[in-house]
Structure 1
Amino acid sequence: MTTQPLTVLDPTMPATPVNAKLAGRPPTLDGKVIGLLDNHKRNAAEFLEEVRKLLAERYEFKGVVKATKPDVSRPCPTQTAEQLAAECDLVITGMGD
C-alpha cells in the first residue's frame, strides 16, 4: 500500500478587518423601496416573505423588489446587485433550510 500526503484546507474566512464599517441604516423604512434577495436555498423565499410581512406591519414601503440568486454557492451576480442598488434604498438578504 502506498501512502500519499494529505492536504487539509482551512474552510474558514479570515477575520473582518478592524477598519470595516457597517453600512448606514435609515432612521425609518417608511417611504423606502426595500429589496429582498433570496439566496436560492429551500425556504429562503418563504422566510423573506415573512420578514416583509412583519416589517409591513410597522412601515409603509414605497415598493418591494424581489430577486433570487441563481446558485446558493456563488456570489450574487453583478447585474442583480447593480439592479438592486439602483432600485432599492436597502436590501435584506436571507437564507433558508
Structure 2
Amino acid sequence: MTKIVLPSGHVVYDPRGQITVAPVTPTRRPASLEATRIGILNNSKWNASKLLRHVVAQLEVVHSFTSVQHYSKTSFSSPADGALFDQIAKEVDVVITAIGD
C-alpha cells in the first residue's frame, strides 16, 4: 500500500500495491509439440478445467505427446508456489494454462 500526501495535507492510501521485478528472458519454444511432455496448469477458476480439457483434446488431434501431466494451483487469487513450478519444470517440456472465467 502506498501512502500519498496531498498538497492539502490529507493522506490517501493507494491499495494497488507495487511489484518490482527483474526482466527475464523467455525459454525457447520447441520447434514442434510432437513427442513432448505437456503440462496442464489449472488455475482453479470455475471454467479453467473445462477449457483446458478442450484445448488438450484439440491439440491431440494433430500432435502426439509423450505424456500429459495435470497440475492445479490451490487458489486462483494467488500465485502458484515455487515448489509447484520446480516440479513442473522437472516433469514437462511445455506448459499450457488458462484463466477460465
Normalised-by-shorter TM-score class? 0.7 to 0.9
Residue in 1 aligned with 2:13?
Answer: 7
Amino acid in the other structure paired with 2:71: A
Larger Rg: 2
Question: For residues 1-97 of structure 1, what are the structure 2 equivalents within 5 Å?
Answer: 5-10=11-16, 17=23, 20-97=24-101
Distance in 2 of aligned mates of 1:5 and 1:92: 44
Unaligned stretches of 5+ residues in structure 2:
1-9
Moved segments of 4+, more than 3 Å: 9-17
SS at match of 2:38: strand
Amino acid in the other structure paired with 1:64: V
Unaligned stretches of 5+ residues in structure 1:
none
| TM-score normalised by the chain length of structure 2 | 0.77
Q: How many residues align?
A: 92
Distance in 2 of aligned mates of 1:55 and 1:66: 15
